[in-house]
Amino acid sequence: MVKNAFIFLILIGVAMILVNLFAGFTGNVDLGQIANHYVANGPAEVGSANIVTAVVVTYRGFDTLGEVTILFLSAAIVGFFLKIENTDNTERNLKYTSEILNTASQVLVPIMILFGVYVFINGHLSPGGGFQGGAIIASGLVLMFIAQPKKEIGHKLINIIESISGVGFVLMGLAGVLFAGGFLDNNVIGLGKFGTLFSAGAIPIIYIFVGLKVGSELTGIALSLKENQNEA
Amino acid sequence: MENSIVEIIGAFLVLIGSVFLFLGALGLVRMPDVFNRIQTGTKASTLGTFLTFFGLVFIMPEWWGKLILLIIFILMTNPVSSHVLARAAYCIKVPMFKKTVIDLYGKDAEKLFKKETKNE
Amino acid sequence: MLNIILAIFLGILIIVLAIMAVLNKNIVVAIIAAGAVSLFASVLYLILAAPDVAMTEAAIGSGLSTIIFFYVLNKINRQNG
Amino acid sequence: MVNKILFIAALIMMLAILLTLYRFFKGTTAADRLVAFDVMTVSSLSLIGLIAKFSDRIIYLDVAMVYGLLSFLGVIIVARYFEKGL
């Protein structure tokens, strides 16, 4: 009883704070100074139809590099702690997957991977980008793990793709330093025609590397969790 | 009015689709056990979504490519998920409705599960 | 008009599902409810005209995190017998 | 005319989502709740289609596609967990 009354008092206090906040709230109608600059000069400077992509890849490209590094670290830590130590080689007795799910997965997995590639190649025109496309590719591969448990994908292949795309991302950034204004500047190979697929300079190339890297990292996490189910 | 007849046909298709979605949800509330709910819910909601996107093709003719692609996705994924769900529900022995008359899957399933797990 | 009605509806739905995810005893139901929260949150982001965020929320919040939760839950169940 | 009919359709879809939410709450077993989740996501998929029509932007349909694929994947994962096949 006393405890409930205490919770009730806390709720009333939180409600009073929130009422004050709501009463003083006026929506931000105008853009801020930096946002105004991005919206006004973004299409001319970067050449990307999607302003969010311009901000994420070019203006704040260094932050994206940091995010990718964090993801790489977490994937490496998961792989380190979930090392497989299956000594007695006992085969797990899984319940068989049904014919319908098997056939559907054979049709759907290529379509999902293709859709992920579409999302990260069109990142400068439509919503989405490297991170989302990589997540879609990883979920397509997870569908394959579930529907066909016998199929093997090596960790080695995933690690090679991940390393190559990570190196490629950094090299594109350094190319920006050499041939354009600074690190991760996208004006390396010319901006192209605004609003077409081959435009916005280096953004599609950077997004291909980011997408492959994120997709292989998330797939690696799911794969080590799946292989680790064997141990008792 | 100012709308053409094709657009009004499309709008009515969307309305019929939403009614089907509603009926599916109503079946989800009214039916007595899991298997009946799977049957009403996923059948009616598949048809409802199909009709909604098909009606949007009439209203927005320039969007037809992506809408048809979405319809194909729905028609491919929705029956598969309901099948997997029903199989899992049978497998963990969710209690059936007490007026269930016949369980044709029962005898076959025992044999099938035993045989296939030995093969693996 | 429709946008305001939808936003209020989805907000209430998200709060209800989140309370359910916190208070439910059955852990499977709690995970499913958390996935439903992020699915409706992505619809809400779409109404607020942020399709990039909506796509991220749908892909990460409801897809991959649910998968990882279930793999871990399966492993814990296996270890406890 | 068209907009009014679509508005009514959106209201009916919201009502459908509310009914599935009732089943999600009450559902005596976990399988019941999973069925409710499935129907709920499919209903909100068509709601996204209507939102795209009202805001007149085709790019929202990309989001609808991602949404549909990943909710399908979620249902499959939980079902495989139930039958101990994960």
pLDDT for residue A136 is more than 70: yes
Q: What is the DSSP string of B31-96?
A: -SSHHHHHHHHHHHHHHHHHHHHHHHHHH-GGGHHHHHHHHHHHHHHHHHHHHHHHHHHHHTTPPP
Q: Answer whether C55 sits within 8 Å of A132, measured CB to CB.
A: yes
For B3-11, what is the mean pLDDT? 85
Contact of C47 with chain D, judged by CB distance below 8 Å, is answered with yes
CA dist., res. A218 & res. C40, Å (int): 23
Total domains present in chain B: 1
Residues of A within 8 A of D66 (CB-CB) are 119, 132, 136
Residue D66 or residue B3, greater confidence? D66
A225 to C68: CB separation less than 8 angstroms, yes or no: yes
**Residue A13's pLDDT band (boundaries 50, 70, 90)?**
very high
Neighboring chain C residues of D25 at a CB cutoff of 8 Å = 20
Q: Is the pLDDT of residue B3 over 80?
A: no
Which chain D residue lies closest to C4 (C-alpha atoms)?
D51
Confidence of residue A92 (pLDDT cuts 50, 70, 90): low
Domain ranges (residues) in chain A: 2-85+95-230
Which domain range does residue B63 map to?
5-94
Measured between CA atoms, how close is C55 to chain D, in angstroms? 6
Mean pLDDT to the nearest integer, B6-33: 89
CA distance B38 to B16: 21
Q: Do B34 and D29 touch (CB under 8 A)?
A: yes
Mean pLDDT of B39-60: 89
For residue B87, the model assigns a pLDDT of 86
Alpha helices in C1-81 (DSSP H): 2-23, 27-47, 51-56, 65-79
Task: Kindly report, residue by residue over C3-38, the tens digit of the pLDDT.
Answer: 888 888 888 989 988 998 898 888 889 999 998 898
Dihedrals φ, ψ of B60, to 5°? -115, 80
Which of C3, C5, C6 would best serve as a mutation to test chain D binding (most D beta carbons within 10 A)?
Answer: C6
Q: Which of D8, C2, D5, D50 is nearest to B8 (CA)?
A: D5
pLDDT in tens, D49-62: 888 888 888 888 88
- B115 in a domain, yes or no? no
Residue B61 domain-assigned (yes or no) = yes
Give the model's pLDDT for residue A91: 58
- C-alpha distances in Å from residue C70, one per residue of A60, A205, A225, D86: 35, 35, 10, 9
State residue C56's pLDDT score.
Answer: 87
Tokens of A35: 């946002």
Q: If pLDDT is split at 50, 70 and 90, which confidence band does D28 have?
A: confident
What letter does residue A54 receive in the DSSP assignment?
I
Q: Which of A91, A95, A101 sits opposite B80 (nearest CB)?
A: A101
For residue D10, is pLDDT > 70? yes
Query: What is chain C's length?
Result: 81
Cβ burial of A148 (10 Å; 0-12, 13-18, 19+) is: middle
Whether B26 is covered by a domain: the verdict is: yes
DSSP state of A96: P
Answer yes or no: are the C-beta atoms of A184 and A221 closer than 8 Å: no
d(CA A32, CA B20): 46
Asked whether the predicted pLDDT for residue B119 surpasses 50, the reply is: no
CB spacing of A98 vs B84 below 8 angstroms: yes
Q: Which of C56, C67, C79, C80 to mutate to test the interface with A (most CBs of A within 10 A)?
A: C67
The CA-CA-CA angle for residues A159, A93, A84, to 5°, reads: 30
Give me the mean pLDDT over the A85-108 stretch.
73
* For residues B33-53, average pLDDT: 89
> Would the ipTM clear 0.90, i.e. be above it?
no
- C-alpha span between C58 and D85 (Å, rounded): 25
**D46 with B52: Cβ contact below 8 A:** yes
pLDDT digits 0-9 by tens, B90-108 = 888 777 777 777 777 777 7
* Per-domain boundaries in chain D: 2-82
Please state whether at least 3 CB pairs lie below 8 Å between chains C and A.
yes
pLDDT tier for residue A25 given thresholds of 50, 70 and 90: confident
Comparison of pLDDT for B32 and A128, the residue scoring more: B32
**pLDDT tens digits along A170-201:** 888 787 777 777 776 766 666 666 666 666 67
The average confidence (pLDDT) of chain C is: 87
Residue A29 exposed, middle or buried by CB count within 10 Å (0-12, 13-18, 19+)? exposed
CA distance C77 to C61: 23
Query: What are the backbone angles phi and psi of residue A188, rounded to the nearest 5°?
Result: -85, -45
Whether residue B110 lies inside any domain: the answer is no
pLDDT(B76) > 80? yes
On the 0-12 / 13-18 / 19+ scale of CB atoms within 10 A, C42 is: buried
Task: Give the pLDDT of residue A130.
Answer: 81
Q: How confident is the model at residue A12 (pLDDT cuts 50, 70, 90)?
A: very high
Contacts of A232 in chain C (CB under 8 A): 78-79
Predicted local confidence at residue A156, as pLDDT: 84
Q: Are D50 and D17 in contact (CB under 8 A)?
A: no
Question: Looking at this protein, which amino acid is placed at residue C36?
Answer: A
pLDDT the model gives residue A89: 58
